[in-house]
Amino acid sequence: MSIVTPSLNAVRFIEQTIRSVLAQDYPHIEYTVMDGGSTDGTLEILNRFRGRLQYHSQKDNGTAEAVNRGFLCSQGHIFSWISADDVFQPGAVSLAVSRFLAEPETAVVYGESHWIDEGGATFGRYPTTAPYHPEMFARECSVCQPSCFIRREAFERIGMLDSRLQSAFDYDLWIRMARDYRFSAIPEYLACSRMHSGNISLGKRRLMFEENIALLARHYGYVPVNWVYLYLSFLRDQRDQFFEPLDPSALTWLASLPVGVYYNRERVGKYLKEWASLTANGLRRRKNSPG
């Protein structure tokens, strides 16, 4: 098992990440940290663990490039990466390996994940979809990256991560792998994904929307209504729609019709049907709500 942690100025959380990897009960783990040239004390922490992990510190073009470099330095038959603010649950690696051994035809094993805050407190479940079906990625990224483990051969053959992407590289990978390889979901909680203003999903919210919309259009030729509406809502009020709940707006919903038609110029009929169905459902809920 090869595990890579990409990091850049991650002094606040990286020691927790490292300890969650080193505490795994699986005996054959090769652990590498790919640091992007930190200046905040991250390297001092890495030095304390020298001998239990290897690390490289040099500038890179983002997380995806760092993960790819780490993969090319590794040798394990199974590969995973975990960001420098996320943590593995105890026994996660052993559970993943057991599933791979039981299912030789499976290329990707993924499990459940918790959301945790800056202090490490659990406050929710990542909306993982299980059992697995390939079509689920046409709607959303329903696999939490740190809970996912991949056979080396499959990751290599699929072309690794697209290093041009800064936010949606994991979602893009799942979509590409789902075309050729089998995924297997296990019910256990394997990881915790830390949500805070400095992570990619929330700290680069506009970029997240733009990359996800672009990859849905590229891979499926269709951008669902919810992506269009949520993106327009973010442009309107800059709420992160996670810690700052979505502020519903009828005008923004109406705007999602022409904007969505523009995104889906080749699938206008499908988009209009979805938009009309969601509008009707929303009106029915409003009509039947108390008061």
Examine the domain organization and report whether 190 and 279 are in the same domain.
Answer: no
Within a domain: residue 124?
yes
User: For position 149, which CATH number holds?
Assistant: 3.90.550.10
Examine the domain organization and report whether 173 and 261 are in the same domain.
Answer: no
Within a domain: residue 9?
yes
Examine the domain organization and report whether 158 and 226 are in the same domain.
Answer: no
133-172 per-position pLDDT tens digit: 999 999 999 999 999 999 999 999 999 999 999 999 999 9
Determine which helix (DSSP H) or strand (DSSP E) holds 237, and give its type and residue range.
helix 225-237
Q: For residues 88 and 82, is the Cβ–Cβ distance under 8 A?
A: yes
65 to 32, 71, 164, 268: CA distances (angstroms): 14, 10, 8, 36
Examine the domain organization and report whether 115 and 39 are in the same domain.
Answer: yes
Within a domain: residue 209?
no
82-125 per-position pLDDT tens digit: 999 999 999 999 999 999 999 999 999 999 999 999 999 999 99
pLDDT of 59 over the 60 cut:
yes
Residue 283: which pLDDT band, with cuts at 50, 70 and 90? low
Within a domain: residue 129?
yes
Percent of the chain whose pLDDT exceeds 90: 93
Examine the domain organization and report whether 62 and 170 are in the same domain.
Answer: yes
pLDDT of 288 over the 90 cut:
no
Examine the domain organization and report whether 84 and 167 are in the same domain.
Answer: yes
Within a domain: residue 210?
no
H helices, E strands: number in the chain: 11, 9
Residue 200: which pLDDT band, with cuts at 50, 70 and 90? confident
Q: Supply the pLDDT for residue 197.
A: 83
More reliable by pLDDT, 149 or 287: 149
Q: Supply the pLDDT for residue 148.
A: 98
Examine the domain organization and report whether 145 and 24 are in the same domain.
Answer: yes
Backbone phi, psi, residue 76, to 5°: -65, 150
Q: Supply the pLDDT for residue 67.
A: 98
The range of the structural domain enclosing residue 87 comes to 2-194
pLDDT of 284 over the 80 cut:
no
Within a domain: residue 75?
yes
- Average pLDDT for the chain: 95
Q: What is the DSSP letter of 76?
A: -
Backbone phi, psi, residue 16, to 5°: -65, -40
Sign of CA dihedral 40, 69, 141, 186: negative
Within a domain: residue 208?
no
213-250 per-position pLDDT tens digit: 999 999 999 999 999 999 999 999 999 999 999 999 99
Q: Supply the pLDDT for residue 12.
A: 95
Examine the domain organization and report whether 51 and 165 are in the same domain.
Answer: yes
Closest CA to 193 of 29, 4, 13: 13
Write down the pTM of the prediction.
Answer: 0.94
Examine the domain organization and report whether 168 and 109 are in the same domain.
Answer: yes
Within a domain: residue 177?
yes
Examine the domain organization and report whether 158 and 253 are in the same domain.
Answer: no
Q: How many structural domains are present in the chain?
A: 2
Strands of 58-119 (E only): list them. 78-81, 87-88, 106-116
Examine the domain organization and report whether 171 and 253 are in the same domain.
Answer: no
Q: Span 277-287, mean pLDDT?
A: 80
Examine the domain organization and report whether 128 and 9 are in the same domain.
Answer: yes
